[in-house]
Structure 1
Amino acid sequence: MERLREFLAGQAEGDLLPWEAQCEASRRLGASLAMVEEAALEWGLMPKRYSRNRDTISIPQQLRLCRSRVAVIGCGGLGGYLIEELARLGVGTLVLADPDVFEEHNLNRQLFSSLARLGRAKVEVARERVAEVNPAVTVVAHRAAFSRENGKSLLSGCSAVVDGLDNVLTRHALAAISSDLSLPFVHGAIAGWYGQVAVQMPGEDISPLLGPVSAQGKGLEANLGNPAFTPAAIASLQVSEVAKILLGRGSLSGRVLFANLLDMEFEVLRYGRSTAGRGE
């Protein structure tokens, strides 16, 4: 480690470490890019790629993100934007789960979809995208549907869980297992011009917000559809909540945010059974 420290110190531009220096350190010393990034942050060097974070996120906070492991369940409309932003933010490990392949009807809104990627597994495309954007991020990809049977193993060791789902029953299972594991759960749901965001911290229960347990299949998006801008907007709000949770900066806990993008109205309410299902 001392050789790595000396090399990085010699390549730093003040307290910034260029990407080329990270790559060269990895090649010369046989360390992974993730290891190099974590070591640099430990020693007070900010990877240059995060230099525009620094007035908002300090070097010690960037190190906390680097050491975090976040699960994104669902890699489609919400999931693509969640994964992209978390990788760019510098979350060290992303655990992804989705059983599906890209289809033509995904092209209007799913960030990782393209004509060339039709028929390809969403988790594999997501893994490739993260490697293009930030190779220092480790991706653990599962081409599998989240369920009560596999949920605990998928979420084991995570720092937080993010909802990229479009299925009400699976969303309830995800919230329940997150609760069982005492993991923060950041919920998002979208339909047409509308969306909602809520946070379930350990010991809390946001199940009344997730839609009726008896619901089969998708929520209101089956009727209202989803244009390109709705998942982008709601996913960004979810990522901001993940960042706050990981950095100890508070959260939306105890409240739910309803977004009406048609009238550009946002409402934050204390949640309870009286708000169940709104914005689903």
Structure 2
Amino acid sequence: MHDEVVCHLVRADGQEDICFALWNPSKGEGRYSALIEKVLLPGEGDRILHGNVSFTPQFFERALAEAATHGMGLAMLHSHPLGRGWQDMSQPDVLAESRNAGAVYGATDLPFLGLTLACKDHAWSARIWQRAAPRVYDPAWCESIRVIGDQLRLHFAPHLLPPPQVSPKQRRTVSAWGEAKQADIARLRIGVIGAGSTGGFIAEGLARTGVKDILVMDPDKVAEHNLDRLVYAVPEDVGHSKVDVLAKRLLTVATAEQFNVTPVQAAVYEKNAYRLALDCDILFSCVDRPWGRHVLNHIAYAHLIPVVDGGILVRTNRSNRLVGADWTAQTVGVGRACLQCLGQYTSALVQIEREGMLDDPKYIEGLADDHPLKARQNVFGFSMACASLQLLQMLNLVVAPLDLADSGVQRYHFVDSTMEPKKQWHCLDNCFMPDLIAKGDRSPFVMTRE
């Protein structure tokens, strides 16, 4: 859709142009997002080009009717031919959007969304028109616009999220990809779902890389048998919340100024934790149970938040000798295969977990010895290697070196020391995840615990 809109709005004759789009709301705990699902390009006689551009009443009314019919919000997108970077609004822009904000709200019960494309570098800026008083609507500028695809393209409002100063601690990091990409990475809000061995490595890697805002989520406490693989825990931490211990560690190693870490002692399928996850720009899946993966899979498509997933499978024979150890990393979201189609979980196991069976020791004991839920997966060296692959997947997604952003599915086999060729997977024909793209809060599925 981004490419389609750019092709329409960036004109060879240097004039402005315009179109509309439909969007769905995605409400997190502290962030409100508008997810654009469909573009409405103008037809013959729908707009008037005169250097600037104006739309006709028939175009606006048709777009508004379609938004109301589908229960979606309405957005107006227009171009600034000479613009570069974040764009303010001209007086004609303000009039065009403010005069129609009331009609849009009345017809859709959602605010009017305005977006501006800077034609010189294809940067977006956006605002939502909020009702301030009867017949009075004021623009609330969006902090960021995210274009989701093979690459995560980011556009930030400099007056709301200014690029951070590069710390001397980050000199070597910044030298790899430059200050512009470092500014994108630093301003991301990243969630690490699962604070076990892999999640601990990833969270520390993010903090050392310069990410300013990290959420860590896990319902469990540090146990003695965790100490062989939790890089952030020591014996004195046994009995304390994993996320609190990890957060304390991150505060000591973070390289960003004004670093913030949010510990959440909960599972992602709990309602409040789920909404906190929706406040993030990228999520790392470091969970080993099917329900959590199912929730993150849904978020990646319905809420347009890329999820970087990883998994480890260790196999031994009857003599307790290692015969196989494999780990995998993949990013899921728009244009990529989902976690269920990749075989990372099954819907049957999700329902079994919902019913509480995975917390029943008798049920677990009855599973076959080689069942994934009984596999001895958490070994320090294996977790460190898997975490590295996941972190590199995220960096490829944001940095996109040489415009190559899709790492594909990466699988490493420890026993014979081989990496499978990178594969590009797509969802199976009967998968419903692609149908949920950008549905946001309008998704018909209940993900959280009732």
- Could you state the TM-score of these two structures normalised by the residue count of structure 1? 0.76
Q: Which has the higher contact order (CA 8 A, sep 6+)?
A: 1
Partner of 1:157: 279
Partner of 2:396: 244
Shift of 1:152: 4.2
Shift of 1:153: 1.0
Shift of 1:157: 3.0
Partner of 1:130: 250
CA distance in 2, matches of 1:263, 1:226: 19
Give the RMSD, CA atoms, in angstroms: 2.3
CA distance in 2, matches of 1:121, 1:188: 23
Identical columns (%): 24
Give yes or no for the alignment of 1:201 onto 2:298: no
**1:232 is paired with a residue of what secondary structure?**
helix
Partner of 2:417: 264
User: Cα distance 1:145–1:152, how it changes in 2: closer, same or farther (>3 A)?
Assistant: closer
Stretch of structure 1 that moved more, 191-200 or 243-252: 243-252
Give yes or no for the alignment of 1:66 onto 2:190: no
Aligned partner letter, 2:280: C
Note the alpha carbon deviations across 1:22-55, whole angstroms, 9 max, x for none.
xxxxxxxxxxxxxxxx86x55xx53111111133
Partner of 2:266: 144
Give yes or no for the alignment of 1:211 onto 2:331: no
Stretch of structure 1 that moved more, 240-249 or 106-115: 240-249
CA distance in 2, matches of 1:273, 1:180: 15
Note the alpha carbon deviations across 1:211-241, whole angstroms, 9 max, x for none.
2222254972622332211110111111111
CA distance in 1, matches of 2:306, 2:205: 18
Give yes or no for the alignment of 1:96 onto 2:250: no
Shift of 1:84: 0.5
CA distance in 1, matches of 2:278, 2:268: 13
Give yes or no for the alignment of 1:228 onto 2:361: no
Stretch of structure 1 that moved more, 111-120 or 244-253: 244-253
Partner of 1:109: 229
Aligned partner letter, 1:67: R
Partner of 1:29: none
User: Cα distance 1:153–1:56, how it changes in 2: closer, same or farther (>3 A)?
Assistant: same
CA distance in 1, matches of 2:409, 2:335: 17
CA distance in 2, matches of 1:57, 1:270: 25
**1:269 is paired with a residue of what secondary structure?**
coil
**1:124 is paired with a residue of what secondary structure?**
helix
Kept after mapping to 2: 8 A contact 1:199/1:251: no
Kept after mapping to 2: 8 A contact 1:148/1:177: no
Shift of 1:149: 3.2
CA distance in 2, matches of 1:204, 1:270: 8
Partner of 2:294: 172
Kept after mapping to 1: 8 A contact 2:312/2:328: yes
CA distance in 2, matches of 1:211, 1:167: 8
Kept after mapping to 2: 8 A contact 1:257/1:269: yes
Kept after mapping to 2: 8 A contact 1:74/1:165: yes
Runs of 4+ more than 4 Å apart = 216-219
- Which structure shows the bigger proportion of residues in helix conformation? 1
Partner of 2:150: none
Partner of 2:14: none
Kept after mapping to 2: 8 A contact 1:163/1:171: yes
Note the alpha carbon deviations across 1:108-128, whole angstroms, 9 max, x for none.
212122211111101101110
User: Cα distance 1:83–1:97, how it changes in 2: closer, same or farther (>3 A)?
Assistant: same
Aligned partner letter, 1:222: K
Aligned partner letter, 2:205: E
- Which structure shows the bigger proportion of residues in strand conformation? 2
For 1:74-85, list aligned pairs within 5 A: 74-85=194-205
Shift of 1:61: 1.4
CA distance in 1, matches of 2:346, 2:197: 22
Aligned partner letter, 1:167: R
CA distance in 2, matches of 1:270, 1:155: 27
User: Cα distance 1:92–1:202, how it changes in 2: closer, same or farther (>3 A)?
Assistant: farther
- Could you state the TM-score of these two structures normalised by the residue count of structure 2? 0.48
Aligned partner letter, 1:201: G
Shift of 1:92: 1.5
Aligned partner letter, 1:146: V
Kept after mapping to 2: 8 A contact 1:148/1:173: no
User: Cα distance 1:251–1:220, how it changes in 2: closer, same or farther (>3 A)?
Assistant: farther
Aligned partner letter, 1:198: Q
Aligned partner letter, 2:423: L
